[in-house]
Amino acid sequence: MKIRIFRQAGKLIILSGITVLVTAFSAVAEAAVLEPGLEDASVPDTGAETVSMFRMYNPNSGEHFYTGNPAEKEMLLEKGWVYEGIGWKAPAFSNVPVYRLYNPNAGDHHYTTVLSEKAFLENAGWQYEGIAFYSCESDGNRQDLLAAGDGTVERAADGSDRVWSAERKTSAVPLFREYNPRAESGAHNYTSSSAEHENLIRLGWQEEGIAWYGEAGKDSESEWPEAEVFLREKNITTLREAFDYASGYRWVFYDVDPSLGTHYYAMKGYQAKEGNCYVDAGLFCEMANALGYSAVQIGGIVPRRDGSLAAHSWVEIDGRIYDPEYRWEYKREGGYAVIPGTPGSLRYQAQYRMSSR
């Protein structure tokens, strides 16, 4: 597989939610483009039934990039992209390919199962990079279903109709598609997280339905792959070591939103040794689960040193409380395996049991 690197440039013009033309915008980040003519843009043949799809983020352009190729992932990391974890599991092969297209002027990628949308973008100057990965075959998002009467008709970005079948596997995971009309690059986002999807809609992104489906329950990989890698890198082998590591983070402000889920905050912790109580707790929660414990992150409130109440997050394991930020907030040892109600302990008031993803 040949990969070439280039600098992004151009000012974007948006047509029907798709970037079409560029004239005078520039960005620092580098992006990866596969040489034209490849039949398969990014999926390696490993013999496995499913492919873990890596989600990458360009902090300069705002683009998210999705690849099942570990080599492509590592190349992007070297160029300054941020790894945001495994987005979903794609089938290694199906009859529903997801096509990847690239805007050579904007440095932006687009993914679609819709042939008419693919053709529309190619006519507008986008380069076809091949099949990026595959959708769960039972989702019905194929061109031969356009006349079906049992599906839900949705409007594709090019204005054509597409149909999603009313039937699909219970194991299929929907990938939601959102569009940011204000973005110059990275205008589309694809996610399997309903919490992320709903949060983006609240922030003003436009909902564009379900783009494709991933597989669930067919892969033997760990549920906590990022945590397992992190534990190995830091040589952390016990729950206490994981707690002490998460407790050592420098405090910085982050949004406090339990609906974003534990993994959202854990990923912040993997990337930089700083964060707030939600980042510390999310990081520790995933490490604890990867070590074999049944941990859940909690969002709630606790009293401050001045007696006022504050939003806070901690982890609960087997009825005990683990509060990685306790040392920083109260300037003393504590917060580890606390029995609720113990004299001298904080009055933790739980409000949310956060989802893992």
What confidence tens digit (pLDDT) does each residue in 317-356 have? 988 999 998 887 776 788 999 998 888 788 899 999 998 8
Q: How far is CA 302 from the centre of its chain?
A: 30
Q: What is the pTM of this model?
A: 0.51
- Which residues neighbour 226 within 8 Å (Cβ) at sequence distance 6 or greater? 85, 86, 266, 267, 270, 286
What tokens were used for 316? 């609960």
- What does the pLDDT average to over 213-233? 73
Give the integer Cα–Cα distance in Å for 160 and 146: 10
How are strands ordered across the β-sheet holding 82-91?
64-67, 50-57, 82-91
Going by pLDDT thresholds of 50, 70 and 90, the confidence category of residue 27 is very low
Strand-pairing partners, residue 274, are: 250
The pLDDT tens digits of the residues spanning 46-75 come to 566 888 888 888 888 889 999 988 788 878
- Of these ranges, 29-33, 58-62, 82-86, 126-130, the one predicted with the greatest mean pLDDT is 126-130
